[in-house]
Amino acid sequence: MTDLAPRQPNATPAVYDAATLAVLAAMEEAADRHLDAIRPHNTKRGYANDWALWEEFHDWLAERTGHRMPSTAATRGNLVGFVVWLDTIKFAAPNSIDRRITGVTVTARSLGVEVPKAATVAARQALKPLKNDPERQARGRGKAAAVTPEQLRQMDAAVADGLAGLRDRALWLMAFGIAGRSAEVAALRADAIVHVSNGLDVHVPAVKGRPPRDVVVAYGKNVDTCPVRAWLTWRAAAGITHGPAFLPIDVWGHMGDRALSAEACREIIARNAERAGVAVRLTGHSMRAGFITTSRKAGKREEKIRAQSGHAENSPAFWGYIREADKWTDAASDDIGL
Please give the Cα distance from 155 to 281 (Å, whole number): 12
pLDDT at position 133 is: 85
The residue ranking higher by pLDDT, 81 or 279, is 81
More confident residue, 266 or 38: 266
- Pick the range with the lowest mean pLDDT from 15-29, 115-129, 208-222: 15-29
Residue 83 has pLDDT above 50, yes or no: yes
**Span 229-234, mean pLDDT?**
97
Query: Which pTM value belongs to this model?
Result: 0.63
Taking residues 263-276, report their average pLDDT: 90
Can you give the pLDDT at residue 8?
54
Give dist(CA 239, CA 162) in Å, integer. Answer: 14
Residues in CB range of 223: below 8 A, 6 or more apart: 229
pLDDT of residue 1: 44
**What is the band of 13 on the pLDDT scale with cuts at 50, 70, 90?**
low
Please report which confidence band the pLDDT of residue 7 belongs to, taking 50, 70 and 90 as the band edges.
Answer: low
- Alpha-carbon Rg for the chain, nearest whole angstrom, is 26
Specify the pLDDT at position 32: 73
pLDDT, position 42: 62
* Per-residue pLDDT tens over the stretch 234-243: 999 999 999 9
- pLDDT tens digits, one per residue of 163-200: 999 999 999 999 999 999 999 999 999 999 999 999 99
- pLDDT tier at 145, thresholds 50, 70, 90: confident
Q: What's the pLDDT band for 2 if we cut at 50, 70, 90?
A: very low
Distance of CA 173 to the CA centre of its chain: 18
Phi/psi for 157 (5° steps) reads -65, -20
3-state SS, residue 146: coil
* 12-21, 257-266, 327-336: least confidently modelled range: 12-21
pLDDT at 9 over 90: no
Residue 140: per-residue pLDDT: 62
Ordered DSSP codes for 120-168 = HHHHHHHHHHHHT-HHHHTTTSSPPPPP-HHHHHHHHHTPPSHHHHHHH
pLDDT at 94 over 70: yes
